[in-house]
Amino acid sequence: METLPESPQHHKHVHNFGFFHNADHTTVFGGNFTTVTNITNIHERDNGFSILQSNVATAAFHSSKQRLDPPRCHAHTREAVLAELLEWIEAPHNIRTAWIAWLSGAAGAGKSAVCQSIAEMCKRRGARVASFFFFRADRTRNTVDALAATLAYQLIQLLPAVKPYVVEAVEGDPLIFEQAFEDQLEVLIVAPLRRLLVSDPSWTLLLVIDGVDECVGESTQMMLVQTFARLLSARDLPLIVLFASRRENQLQMAFSARDMTGILKELQLDNNYQSHADIQRFLDDSFEQIKRTHPFSRRLAPAWPPLAHVQEIVKKSSGQFIFAAVVIKFVSSPKANPATQLEIVRGLRPAGRATPFAELDALYMHILSQVEDIQPVLELLAYTIFCGAKLSEMLYFFQLAEDDAEVLLAPLTSVITLDSETDMLRFLHASLPDFLKSRERSGAYCISELGTHLAILWFDNAAAGRFQDFPGASRNVDLGAFLALAQPDLALRTCISEFDPWQTPTIFMAYTYFADDILDGVSHIDFGDGGEAYRTLLGNIVRFLRKEQPEKFDEINIDIADIMEAISKEEEQQFLSLQ
């Protein structure tokens, strides 16, 4: 740091006579006077490097102590994707085919762990790597404000020869950190690197930018990616960038831009990288560690946990490491018996005050909070979970075009996908339905109370004749599932009382037990009418079966003597009216 000139007040022979020192013929008429001393210009106090340091987000480093025990790949897992990334990073400049790599995957797939591990591996191998790990809950690293400064600081540590250029740039424009990110990147990183390249063309620098989707503002996320794309599209800098994020729509757009042509390498953390096998290895090793080190290990059976229980966790993980990691974190707590903890996870014991899935629930809560129009989205999810219907049948039920459904569900691309080939809405997290069905875990996002609305919608569709000839009508028999969750409601009672089985003949004919299911569902709802709604529904179904499906009518096991008596009277009156 530069030595500041000694201030005058430090010289004993200099005397300060206040406001009127060296003044002549001064006349003062009243007034209040304030003496201000020790005024120092910030740019006299701090040099460029100090200013740079004050704008760095130290928590964003891959080696930051503030990121206590950051996620990293478990030993002997993710080997294929790590090897592919290392091959890309270490490729000679003259044969390089991609300057940007995009590592994408579902929420909780382990992207940050891969980025952490690759940064540490590069450092051990002597490669130059600078990093920035975005995190939405940390205000110092959930925007791009500190990104350029943080990367520039690391650049100086990796390539000391660049320091004079960066310091000179900051001292020449001390307010550079108030300017747009693209300008900061050009001044603090690109220009200094170009000057260094002239004198030393042998270096290569890797930037690891993880969690782009956790940066505040979708437009900012796109700007960040597009800025680097424009920079590297010229292919004239030995600089490469690894981005990691979820495959959210705005980022798919950014990585599909024209500037990405010919410089992008995509890696998706999916089953191509044997994630299920990696999760199995992680669980096996972790359970062995628990049996070896846990204070309650003596209470664990030699064969604990059974292979079937481990495979159950693997299946529930759906290829995403976060579920398995959350389970192990909960089960390994030194304050409880691991076997008991595992039973809580599997739903065999009440959780009580324990929160085994708190970390996972927070992730789901955040993702759902990004949905602007949440109600129809929850209805679509509820229908899929309760019915397991095909995508086309769900769209028909809600009278939605596929494009409209895709727009509604767009904010959830990190946890679900619309698979047109299999005609299914597929959950990327098998644990998400459990979360959505639990009021304790999901709160306002709980779908278990949507049964009433979905049942009413089913009756509305029936009344509109939408189940008359629909080829997939046999799949729309899940009214029983809705009624099982329904609460007493006047509108629902009206629908039940007015339901005419002739509105849905194909369902009754295609599904043997449909009548039983609908009657059983209604019998458990107390409308406070003494069972009138139920008896009305039963009467209508009996009349339909007696005329249209006599073989099923003969199988009715319910006491319908009073209904048959009423039917006889109705038929007698009809006969007399014809005489």
Greater model confidence, 100 or 544: 100
Distance of CA 270 to the CA centre of its chain: 15
Contacts of 175 (CB under 8 A, 6+ apart): none
Q: How far is CA 16 from CA 5, 10, 19, in A?
A: 19, 11, 9
Asked whether residue 538 carries a pLDDT value surpassing 70, the answer given is yes
Beta bridge partners of 128: 205
Q: Express as a percent the part of the chain with pLDDT over 70.
A: 86
Paired tokens of 411: 């904010």
DSSP 321-350: HHHHHHHHHHHT-TTS-HHHHHHHHTTSS-
pLDDT at 576: 63
Q: What are phi and psi of 418, to 5 degrees?
A: -90, 110
pLDDT one-digit tens code per residue, 477-535: 688 889 999 999 999 999 999 999 989 888 887 777 888 889 899 999 999 999 999 99
Give me the helix-helix angle, 532-548 and 490-498, nearest 10°.
Answer: 30
- Helix/strand/coil for 401: coil
* Alpha helix ranges (H) inside 200-272: 218-232, 249-255
Cα–Cα distance between 554 and 546 in angstroms, integer?
8
3-state DSSP helix/strand/coil percent for the chain, to nearest 5? 55, 5, 35
Q: Which residues contact 5 (CB under 8 A, 6 or more apart)?
A: none
Q: Is the Cβ–Cβ distance between 383 and 479 less than 8 Å?
A: no
> Does the global pTM surpass 0.75?
yes
- Mean of the per-residue pLDDT values of the chain: 87
Instruction: Choose the CATH number for 49-273 among 3.40.920.10, 3.40.1190.20, 3.40.50.300, 3.30.830.10.
Output: 3.40.50.300
pLDDT at 69: 81
What average pLDDT does the segment 292-307 reach? 95
Closest CA to 565 of 533, 534, 539: 539
Buried b (16+ CB within 10 A) or exposed e, 494-507: ebbbebebebbbbb
Is the Cβ–Cβ distance between 123 and 199 less than 8 Å?
no
User: Does residue 265 contact residue 85 with C-beta atoms inside 8 Å?
Assistant: no
Residue type, 182: E
Q: Could you tell me which of 158, 236, 157, 144 has the C-alpha nearest to residue 190? A: 236
The pLDDT assigned to 555 comes to: 67
Q: What is the torsional sign of CA 435, 439, 441, 442?
A: positive
pLDDT at 90 over 90: yes
How far is residue 127's CA from residue 91's CA, in Å, rounded to a whole number?
12
What pLDDT, on the 0 to 100 scale, is given for residue 2?
39
- Tokens describing residue 483: 């009624």
Cβ-based neighbour number of residue 262 at 10 Å: 10
Confidence band of 182 (pLDDT split at 50, 70, 90): very high
Alpha carbon distances (Å) from 501 to 280, 387, 462, 518: 50, 21, 9, 11
- Residue 421 CA to residue 419 CA, distance in Å, equals 6
Q: Tell me how far CA of residue 129 lies from CA of 125, 196, 246, in angstroms.
A: 11, 17, 22
